[in-house]
Amino acid sequence: MDPDRRPFGALADSVRRARIARSLSQRGLSRALGMSDGYVGHLESGRFRPTVESLKGLASVLDFSYGQLAVDAGYISPEEFENPIDESKLARLNEVNDLTDQEWASVKDFVQYVRSRRGEGA
């Protein structure tokens, strides 16, 4: 099939292989996920990207790497999967996760200002 018609072909193929390895039918996997009977068939067509919640369900039911499914679905890059964020950077993100968009824009402006001043007075 033309790759343009299967933009999520890698994901579809990963799900199909994992499903078959666990001797699950498409209908059986759909039901285990709490989805319509045809959901997995549609997913395995490779033409749509499931939600993050659906990927979590697939990973759990298929005992498959959520990270790899997220890469195959295009939610994260292979580099992000291979090099996850370290604890210190994650702590920094958690410190600002409640900012509004306007507040975040102000923070970015301030960061740009601080970077522009690095070479002065040294």
**pLDDT tens-digit profile of 63-86?**
999 999 999 999 999 999 998 888
Instruction: Kindly give the residue spans of alpha helices, DSSP state H, lying in the chain.
Output: 9-21, 26-33, 39-43, 52-62, 66-72, 78-82, 87-95, 101-117
46 close to 8: Cβ distance less than 8 angstroms: yes
Q: How many CB atoms lie within 10 A of CB 11?
A: 26
Average pLDDT over residues 36-55: 95
Tell me whether residue 46 is exposed, middle or buried, using C-beta atoms within 10 angstroms of its C-beta: 0 to 12, 13 to 18, 19 or more. buried
Confidence of residue 90 (pLDDT cuts 50, 70, 90): confident
pTM: 0.67
pLDDT of residue 3: 54
pLDDT for 44 beyond 80: yes
90 close to 80: Cβ distance less than 8 angstroms: no
- The residue type of 31 is R
Computed over every residue of the chain, the mean pLDDT equals 92
